[in-house]
Amino acid sequence: MMRAVRHTLDHELRQAGTLAVDAIRAQPARSVLAIIGVVIGIVTVVLVSSTLVGLRNSVALLFRELGTDNIFAFHVSGEPYAAPSSQEANRRPLEPAFAGRIAELGPSIRDVGVELIVPVVTSTRAITARAGGNESDALLVEGISPNFYDIVGAEFAAGRPFTDYEERARASVAILGASIARALFGPESSVGRSFLLGGDRYFVVGELAPRRGTFFGENRNDTVIALPVATARQKFTDAENTILYIRAQPGKREEARLEAAMALRVLRRLPPGAPDDFSLSTADQIIAQFDRIGFQIFIATVALAAVSLLIGGIGIANVMIISVTERTREIGVRLAIGARRSEVRRQFLLEAALLSGAGGLAGVLLASSLGALAALVAPAFPATPPIWAVVSGLVTSVGVGVVAGYIPARRAAALDPVEALRYE
């Protein structure tokens, strides 16, 4: 019994599908115009989803490379290379000397590294690096403590980190990121060679291995020229923004965070009850913050896409109403020879679903093509959209077709056969 019912249903669906496809083929131009809104909506959702996924993975990669057990201390809550907010603009930068004191005051703190940011462009100068005939201004300059690379787990392609002696002596030595090393010295190793930076000569003692690429194609750390912190402070007196990398003892990151906060309050002489004038963050917190922002962007995108889908749904409903009107005699003949009203309704619902589903499929293919083109410009761009976005787009487009086609399908099924046969 169940097999017979299933066979009958399959036959009816195949017949309805065939009629629906024939009807769409009969008016291709009208069908294409009807689904443009659906195509635009699906392209928007799929492209933005791909972009957000790629950007989120890049942010996660960037900060996890800096150590999942590390705590980052900075005097403002924003990105170190960005301008601070108006509420935090007057905060005093942290001091590199805080690193040793925090390590002493925190039993759960294993080590503290220093990263001093040197402004490469000011009102009076722009820093460039030159080695022989090669010159580059696509660089960042930072003061780095000898223990920094161990704390963040950076890999060296050649050479070594700074020594404590080089830090104390304010030695004119440098460690190069992979990209700036290639720009200055080509494919050969830069270790043991010298270059000019801001008019002063430095000798390369280490070259970092290429960091994994980000969403934008290149890891910012690959463009860094690192100097000992004391050297950077002596050569660039305007360098004051300091980031402290606090490495916790295994399994004690939260305890280390609390200890670092208390130590910074003491070192910055904050009175009891006064709010913190510094920011402590971890890789997990930064990633979670980006996820919240990304979710808000995605919701806004869905709202915009919903408008396009609504327009597409109205277009499909209009096409289906016209289709019912034009095929009134055909519907009357089908009803007169014994077709059930449910079969007629199912035919038009399936036609609307196929029409809208075709728009969804076209939207996915167009979004994938645009993503592939973007990947040619930015190789790290996620050209392949996430599976959930593709499935959601296709299901949504079919759902829009079913909803848009319901009233026309119901109208078709409700026609009186006699009146329908008289229709001209």
Are the CB atoms for 316 and 356 separated by under 8 Å?
yes
Instruction: Name the token pair of 305.
Output: 């896409």
Predicted confidence pLDDT, tens digits, the chain (424 residues): 556 546 555 655 666 566 556 666 666 777 777 778 788 888 888 888 777 777 776 666 666 666 567 889 999 987 787 778 888 888 899 999 999 999 999 999 999 999 999 998 876 778 999 998 899 998 999 999 999 999 888 889 999 999 999 999 999 999 999 999 999 999 999 999 999 998 899 999 999 998 765 545 567 888 999 999 999 999 999 999 999 999 989 888 889 999 999 999 999 999 988 999 999 988 777 667 777 777 777 787 778 778 878 888 888 888 778 777 777 777 777 777 777 787 778 777 888 888 888 888 888 888 888 877 877 776 666 667 778 778 888 888 888 888 888 888 787 777 766 665 665 5
DSSP of 368-402 = HHHHHHHHHHSTTS--SPPHHHHHHHHHHHHHHHH
Angstrom distance (rounded) from CA 358 to CA 283: 42
Q: Which two tokens stand for residue 393?
A: 């787009």
Task: With residue 248 as reference, give the H or E element that holds it.
Answer: strand 241-248
pLDDT tens digits along 231-240: 999 999 999 9
d(CA 257, CA 109): 8
Query: Are the C-beta atoms of 367 and 42 separated by less than 8 Å?
Result: yes
**Residue that the structure tokens 């509420």 belong to:** 87
**Chain-centre distance for alpha carbon 295:** 11
Cα–Cα distances in Å, from 349 out to 181, 314, 363, 412?
A: 63, 15, 21, 10
Distance set, CA 254 to CA 64, 108, 280 (Å): 17, 9, 11
What CA–CA distance (Å, rounded) separates 152 from 79? Answer: 18
How many other C-beta atoms lie within 10 A of the C-beta of residue 380? 19
Q: What's the Cα-to-Cα distance from 176 to each of 75, 81, 193, 418, rounded to whole Å?
A: 26, 19, 11, 86
DSSP letters spanning 95-162: PTTHHHHHHHH-TTEEEEEEEEEEPSB-SS-B--EEETTEEE---EEEEE-TTHHHHHTPPEEEE---
Distance, in Å, from the CA atom of 121 to the CA atom of 142, rounded to the nearest integer, reads 13
Residue type, 68: T
The C-alpha atoms of residue 399 and residue 406 are separated, in whole angstroms, by 11
As a whole number of angstroms, the distance between CA 97 and CA 151 comes to: 17
Which residues make Cβ contacts (< 8 Å) with residue 401, sequence separation at least 6?
A: 38, 313, 316, 352, 353, 354, 355, 356, 357
Half-sphere exposure of 199 (CA within 13 A, CB side): 4
pLDDT digits (tens, 9 = 90+) for 299-311: 877 787 788 788 8
Question: Residue 162 burial by CB count (10 A; 0-12/13-18/19+): exposed, middle or buried?
Answer: buried
Q: 247 and 122 in contact (C-beta within 8 Å)?
A: no
What 3-state class would DSSP assign to 36? helix
